[in-house]
Structure 1
Amino acid sequence: MGIPNLKGRDLLSLADLTPTEMTDLLTVAQALKQGELRPTCASVLGLLFYKASTRTRVSFSVAMYQLGGQVIDLNPKVTQVGRGEPIIDTARVLDRYLDILAIRTFAQADLETFANYAEIPVINALTDLEHPCQILADLLTIQEEFDTLQGLTLTYLGDGNNVAHSLLLGCAMAGMHINVATPADYAPDPAVVQQAQSLALPGTKIQILTDAEAAVAGAHVLYTDVWASMGQEDLAAARIPIFAPYQINEALMAQADPGAIALHCLPAHRGEEISEGVMEGPQSRIWDQAENRMHAQKALMACLLGAV
């Protein structure tokens, strides 16, 4: 088994990994899930979340407890960061208390500032630009289903948001073809698309489309997210008619590969970006995907802490 040498590093973007490191990290996650590896580390994880979280908060916490460590919830509402303490000050202080820090915030630049001023590993637990830990779990779920990643086609439908960005990078590095289908004004950041193209394994196709039906034809994985991300709730109602053609429903699933699976990073608005029938249907792997957040993040923390 390949163990990636990630000790002491940060994960601010999936692009911080090489394709080989990402592949090896998924192998470690699978071994942890199956009980083939049992690393331990008496480390302290800090969770600094400026945004709401269920899966990320709980999965990181359980993963660290299972590794034998402890977790401190650094809620901005009850710490000085919520009163405007400068990031550079907070980062240097937390660096002296914690062994590892996961941050969920708005601006990628703020995350990078934390990482620049702290020597401990810093993990991106979601920013407006990327959501790398989610995609590690997604790739683990797809690999479990198909026994491989390379050569498969994933179609993402909806808003070209942080999840779409990290999917572009992760699929490119895994050798998976990826179609991103969005309304014309909601495409992913061109700079991220260009980065994905530069990282893609030879022969990997990356397509940015507006036609949902063309995007799903023959795809092995159909993936979606909410149409209005955190902080955009006031735009949700206006987006529904714009995004309606991109709903993952039974009709779109029928145009994908017969063995295709449906994924959603959650939370879901049933009846909007995904139909009830698909979410609860036999092609859904959404609950496996949610569980795999814990396994992927446990592997990531174990590698960053040098416990494997």
Structure 2
Amino acid sequence: MMGSSGTESGVRHFLSIGDLPVEEAIELFRWARLFKQARPHLPQGLGYTLAHTTWVLLFSKPSTRTRLSFEIAIRELGGESLFLPFTDLQLARGESMADTARVMGRLAHGAIIRTYAQAEIEEFSRWASIPTVNALSDEEHPCQVLSDIFSFEEKRGSIQGKRVAFLGDGSCNVARSWAIAASRFGFDLIIGSPHCFWFPSPSERVFWTESPWEAAQEADLLYTDVWVSMGKEGEKEAREELLRPYQLRSELVKKAKPDVLVFHCLPAYKGKEITAELFEARAQEILDQAENRLHVQKALLSWLVKKLPSSPGV
């Protein structure tokens, strides 16, 4: 996998949360806060870091928050976006990703890709020679977790040294991105999940338990995600049976720290991975988390084109 420097020409990509050096993440978060503060002052408070550029959103999976937050971010940064479902392209008829990327790289200024295979995003970035963003694959959801860390720090200060508990499908893309982030940002991640969903810990800061109670103990952040990810619909009944004990509910919250935050990356299936009661009680935290995708991705896109503004512009 390529790192943040991307290709030999110096093009930046964001394919994994491991692509962003932590010192640059700190600067990116600072600018995300400034973009958030500036937004009520639009258009005067807008930094046009993507002016005169066109970005393609190449999606093979359905999307609500990812599509909205990226399209609005690009527009508010002065750029244009083209939403391109895989099914509308020659990819659906067998054209290779390499050929698609080589053409798009000559026409567009950046690409945001949401698909099943991580390898497709990596291949596109190799051939297109334009900034490429992983907007979700089966292996990672780096934009989500980057924004989640920002959302935590916005409310509780640095995540370094904190305890994050993920409950549910420990093999999902969000959990995997959290695992990569743990060592880079210096927090402990405890994944409460059935053993069949475990994967090798990428660092000594990632721990596993089959007990949801142990995972929630003294947590600073309780986090859950859907039990049946896109492409796993055929496993729905089996997954729901296995994961039912890991439902995020008020009894588990009581095991965490008194000021624990509750996050869900959405969409939420209330009564399954989280109770409706707890979701509504923590809706403000969860919706703040969803909104922050816009602000963090504005900073991320500006970082990719090496144009973090020199002043907030308000």
Q: TM-score normalized by structure 2?
A: 0.90
Partner of 1:31: 34
Q: For the Cα contact (< 8 Å) 1:29–1:299, is it kept in 2?
A: yes
Which residue of 195, 199, 204 corresponds with 1:184?
195
Deviation at 1:81, TM superposition (A): 1.7
Quick check: 2:56–2:110 contact (8 Å CA) kept in 1?
yes
Residue pairs, 1:191-230, within 5 angstroms: 193-194=201-202, 196-197=203-204, 205-230=205-230
Task: Give the corresponding residue for 1:19.
Answer: 22
Matches of 2:222 and 2:284, distance apart in 1? 10
Aligned with 1:77: secondary structure? helix
Give, in whole Å, the separation in 1 of the partners of 2:195 and 2:120.
29
Deviation at 1:39, TM superposition (A): 2.2
What is the aligned counterpart of 1:169 among 180, 199, 205? 180
Percent identical among aligned pairs is 39
Aligned to 1:123: 133
Aligned to 1:105: 115
Name the stretch that deviates more: 16-25 or 286-295.
Answer: 16-25
Deviations 1:114-140 (A, max 9, x none): 011011001001011000000011011
2:42 paired residue number = none
State how far apart, in whole Å, the 2-side matches of 1:278 and 1:152 are.
22
- Comparing 82-91 with 6-15, which one deviates more in the overlay? 6-15
Q: Is the 8 A contact 2:5 2:11 kept in 1?
A: no
2:111 and 2:37 map into 1 onto residues whose CA distance is 26
Aligned counterparts of 1:102 and 1:241: Cα–Cα separation in 2: 35
- For 1:54, the equivalent position in structure 2 comes to 64
1:26 CA displacement: 1.7
More displaced, 24-33 or 247-256? 24-33
In the alignment, is the contact (CA less than 8 A) between 2:5 and 2:12 conserved in 1? no
Matched, 1:135 2:145: yes
Between the aligned partners of 2:174 and 2:281, the Cα distance in structure 1 is 23
1:67 and 2:83 correspond: no
Question: How many matched pairs?
Answer: 294
Q: How far apart in 2 are the matches of 1:169 and 1:20?
A: 16
Distance in 2, Cα, partners of 1:207 & 1:238: 24
In structure 2, the residue matched to 1:202 is: none
Moved more, 121-130 or 19-28: 19-28
**Normalising to structure 1: TM-score of the pair?**
0.91
1:18-40 CA-partner distances (Å, limit 9, x unpaired): 22122222222112111297421
Q: Secondary structure at the match of 1:46?
A: strand
| Equivalent residue, structure 2, for 1:292 | 292
How far does the alpha carbon of each residue in 1:239-274 deviate from its partner, in whole angstroms, 9 at most, with x for none? 212111111001001111010011011111100000
Q: What's the CA shift for 1:282?
A: 4.2
Is 2:14–2:133's contact at 8 Å kept on the other side of the alignment? yes
Gaps of 5+ in 2: 40-44, 309-314
- For 1:68, the aligned partner's letter is G
Equivalent residue number for residue 265 of structure 1: 265
Equivalent AA in structure 2 for residue 134 of structure 1? Q
Q: Distance in 1 between matches of 2:158 and 2:283?
A: 18
Q: Check conservation: 1:261, 1:284, Cα contact below 8 A.
A: no
Cα distance change of structure 1 residues 260 and 158 upon mapping to structure 2, 3 Å threshold: same
Contact 1:158–1:273, Cα closer than 8 Å, also in 2: yes
Cα offset, 1:279, TM superposition: 0.6
**What RMSD over aligned residues (CA atoms) do the two structures have, in Å?**
1.8
**Alpha-carbon distance, 1:284 to partner:** 5.5
- Structure 1 runs (4+) deviating above 4 angstroms are 4-7
Structure 2 letter corresponding to 1:84: G
1: CA distance, partners of 2:238 / 2:265: 22
Q: Which amino acid aligns with 1:156?
A: F
